[in-house]
Structure 1
Amino acid sequence: MIFKTSKLTPCIVATLSKPSKTAGINLLIGLMLLAISFSGCTQQVPPPPAAVGPTPTARQLEWHKLEQYAFIHFTTNTFTGKEWGFGDESPTVFNPTNLDPEQWAKTIQEAGLKGIILTCKHHDGFCLWPSEYTEHDIANSPYKNGKGNVVEEVYQACKKYGLKFGVYLSPWDRNHPDYGTPAYVEYYRNQLKELFHAYGPVFEMWFDGANGGDGYYGGANEKRKIEGATYYDWPTTLKMIREIEPEVIFFSDAGPDIRWCGNERGFVGETNWNTISTDTLYAGKPGITELLNRGSEDGTNWVPAEVDVSIRPGWFYHAHEDDKVRSAENLFKIYLESVGRGSNLLLNLPPDRRGLIHENDVASLRKWKAMLDEAFANNLAANAPVKASATRGEAAVYGAQNLTDSKPETYWTTDDNQQTAELLVELGQEQTISYVLLQEYIQLGQRVKAFSLEANINGTWKKIGEATTIGYKRIVPVDEVKTSQLRIRILDSKACPVLSNLEVY
């Protein structure tokens, strides 16, 4: 269907009657067409491109915008020196001397992270809140004479510092005597209901892939195996949680909302598709790390990657790792290889036995934040003129100027049969550039498969960078070069490219 702009009435009818997932952008287009109508212009403007492949839900889109948040691993392991508690630890070992979740939240907020996911229960089964369903919890610890509730304290600290609150509840429980039987699944669901009814809104629910093995299991001290694909009956569990918290994002290897990146080293693939097919995946399934790291170009579900990594070698605090905290430079590299490749970053910050984020960790975070602020402080392309080799219907509403207008709801695109194109960015004067940032309008699907970057140096175009996928965000580091003109070449795309943002630093 063609939007005709020669008369007012057809333009109004076309804009208001066309059903679309992208109602907001269509409304904007309609208003611009009205303006064209009043000017007497008779240009014909094509409708927006049809979506290609899976697209994000509204809650997934909001998740993309968070970009980075913190993991907090804190339990009996902090006091025993273990990474995975066996399940036989006495609750009496949990006794922080100066627990201060507000120090956590303030540190995290100042580092630019947007939320906290708390390990409310790890594999050892110890619960950081007084649970009605077990004695293996904080109520039987010395902390605040058994009257403490770390989940509540972290939840309140998040509210004070404007952070999102998320929940990790390990499906594997090495303490519970019923683990491996249907009775344990009911126990697990009861604890989820405790948390979700008491601490909403919960922005993300984190399901670990570690399931089954040796454990204490109420004194049995044996190995127990479960069938990972069926034991937990995840569809029933997720439906139950969604009824309590409709906007929660579910993380696991299989999603359904976001997926593991396939490693705990801090990077997602240089090629990173937000799509995979989930019909054969489940949490803990072996042999799928490469798929999780890269995604699948022809995947049937929108399940973007989350990169989880610890600021220390371990996930829990160990004093002997105080001199092994990741440097700010390493955290910056992780940022570029996670957020800079279109995934979100979940950075683990384990509190020490005092109940504080250690001074070394805090110092590294502050330096990292300063590096990010310095690197991305001045967008050289803000409102810069941009010319495109092709524009959809030659219509200004789809023009390349949308790339530098700082409006995420506008975009540049081409005709449906145009899958390659070039963009010329005028920086006004010679500038030193180090990073180029691109974003697709993912509400219409992920499209770009390959692109390159070129700089005009003394009248000659020189390639300074290249990459494959873009997705929500792509940051391409380039060797520092001075130029007044930048050229972006879209080399391959699943369909006509649709880009919403361009920044240069």
Structure 2
Amino acid sequence: MKRTSLIFSFLFLLFACKDKEAMPPTPFGAVPSQRQLAWHDLEYYAFVHFNMNTFTNEEWGHGTENPNTFNPTQLDCEQWARICKQAGMKGIILTVKHHDGFCLFPSKYTEHSVKNSTWKNGQGDVVKELSEACKKYGLKMGVYLSPWDRNHPTYGTPEYNEVFKNTLKEVLTSYGDIFEVWFDGANGEGPNGKKQEYDWKGFIEVVRTYQPNACIFSDGGPDVRWVGNENGFANPTNWGTLNGDKVYPGYPQYKELTSGHEDGTHWIPAECDVSIRPGWYYHADQDDKVKTLPQLVEIYFSSVGRNANLLLNLPVDRRGLVHENDSIALVKLRKYLDESFANNLAKGTSVIASAYRANDDNFDGNKVTDGDPKTYWATDDQVTTGSLEIDLQKEKPINTLVIQEFITLGQRVKSFSIEVWKNNAWEKVAQETTIGNKRIVNLPDISTSKIKINILESKACPLISNVELYKISEAK
């Protein structure tokens, strides 16, 4: 009787332990806000440089231009939006005001704007037209506003900061939801020969007040940072964190931004801005210098594939249209990406984890191939290494791996390796550093029935939410 009672007690404890769910991991280090998580999900969107410089053949204007010079003959923001949608982009950020001070909307706070142009008899508003086009095509809209103003007479005085804040307010309260506000850190002389001491704290407060869900971009954030170059590349080691109290617009050690700061105090991920042509603005002599498909694919893999977002610039031409050559290049890139990532060989496969959190199935290895971004493999708190073995059932050709961390709880992994099953043994084919929101790893062309991901070093228990495998063709 006593023996039977002990057996029942043992079975009860066994099933009681099995049914008990493990506590999820706690956040580690700096973590993203909800607005930043929404921004990460976008991954790829357009920059549109279109303003006075388009018509003066400049990159940086002087602020002395006649407003009548701005005169697009066929402005069609719906064409922009339609092309961006076809390209798989999620939004458009427009240069509403560049360094020359010319505004693409009828601002009350400057005379250097479309209101004083003969274009549409001074009744034109490019920002309004783009806002309506983005809504029609289901795109997000963002705005670039340069604080530098080479035209405004108050630039270089405290009064100008109020002018700029009022200009910001006009934009942020007139055109619907804004997903990103892009601040350029350039700070040169105004028409009076003075430089401006920018009220960054005040500028940020205006955005938070009128567009609380918008991410703010500058060299140092506070939500999104510059990647430190205009080539479209993040470093292979790229942290989503930055010492936010150290970095500021115009920060001279900008090369640090290409990798971020491993133990950064704030979550400020990188955005890679690059133009599809040599220049940011349209120049007719660059019509035959649009980036090739191999160049654009390399940029995509070096930005989105390295824990950053890609902001690809389209220099709208003097007609007010995305040039045909740029459109063709975008469509080619979209076709290549769609074909490359159409067949995820890891989807729904069985995954064996070296260990998982409290032996709770909610955190087992299968969570990385279930297609649910809210689930993840996790180890116990004290375990900072581990492996995931993906069984493909039979030999399949692969050459690309996509891996993602559950960044809601912070970025953790410092290094990982990839092995494939070959000749009845494991063979290492890659070793990399950080992961973050997304890492795309190019592998040699191989055929294998099993692949193993080894977390070699992690700052806290690793949390892997997604793994994908592909065989993609070379971009030509």
Provide TM-score, normalisation by structure 1.
0.89
Deviation track 1:220-276 (CA, whole Å, cap 9, x = no partner) reads 4x3x334xxxx2221222112211111111000111011000000011111000001
Deviation track 1:458-501 (CA, whole Å, cap 9, x = no partner) reads 32322222211111111111121111110101110001111111
1:195 to 171, 195, 201: 171
Is the contact between residue 165 and residue 202 of structure 2 (CA under 8 Å) also seen in structure 1?
no
Runs of 4+ in 1 over 4 A off after TM superposition: none
Deviation track 1:373-418 (CA, whole Å, cap 9, x = no partner) reads 1111100000000001111112211100111001111111111121
Percent identity over the alignment is 55
Whether 2:304 is the aligned partner of 1:339: answer: yes
- What is the match of residue 354 of structure 1? 319
Tell me by how many angstroms 1:45 deviates: 4.1
Is the contact between residue 200 and residue 245 of structure 1 (CA under 8 Å) also seen in structure 2?
no
**Equivalent-residue separation in structure 2 for 1:397 and 1:351 (angstroms):** 49
- What is the match of residue 173 of structure 1? 149
**Equivalent-residue separation in structure 2 for 1:193 and 1:398 (angstroms):** 46
**Equivalent-residue separation in structure 2 for 1:458 and 1:210 (angstroms):** 57
- What is the match of residue 162 of structure 2? 186
1:481 to 446, 451, 459: 446
2:241 to 251, 268, 275: 275
Q: 1:382 aligns to what SS in structure 2?
A: coil
Is the contact between residue 155 and residue 195 of structure 2 (CA under 8 Å) also seen in structure 1?
no
- What is the match of residue 49 of structure 2? 73
- What is the match of residue 218 of structure 2? 252
**Equivalent-residue separation in structure 1 for 2:113 and 2:466 (angstroms):** 48
Kindly provide the amino acid, as one letter, of the partner of residue 452 in structure 1: S
- What is the match of residue 87 of structure 1? 63
Paired residues for 1:69-218 under 5 Å: 69-213=45-189, 215=190, 217=191
**Equivalent-residue separation in structure 2 for 1:458 and 1:269 (angstroms):** 34
**Equivalent-residue separation in structure 2 for 1:348 and 1:435 (angstroms):** 27
Q: 2:305 aligns to what SS in structure 1?
A: helix
Whether 2:455 is the aligned partner of 1:490: answer: yes
Kindly provide the amino acid, as one letter, of the partner of residue 361 in structure 1: D
Tell me by how many angstroms 1:433 deviates: 0.8
**Equivalent-residue separation in structure 2 for 1:353 and 1:493 (angstroms):** 51
Number of residues paired by the alignment? 458
CA gap of 1:123–1:272, structure 2 versus 1, over 3 A, is: same
RMSD: 1.5
Is the contact between residue 365 and residue 377 of structure 2 (CA under 8 Å) also seen in structure 1?
yes
- What is the match of residue 251 of structure 2? 285
Whether 2:331 is the aligned partner of 1:366: answer: yes
Provide TM-score, normalisation by structure 2.
0.94
Is the contact between residue 128 and residue 151 of structure 1 (CA under 8 Å) also seen in structure 2?
yes
Gaps of 5+ in 2: 1-11, 471-476
- What is the match of residue 225 of structure 1? 195
Gaps of 5+ in 1: 1-36
Tell me by how many angstroms 1:282 deviates: 1.3
| Higher deviation after alignment, 132-141 or 317-326 | 132-141
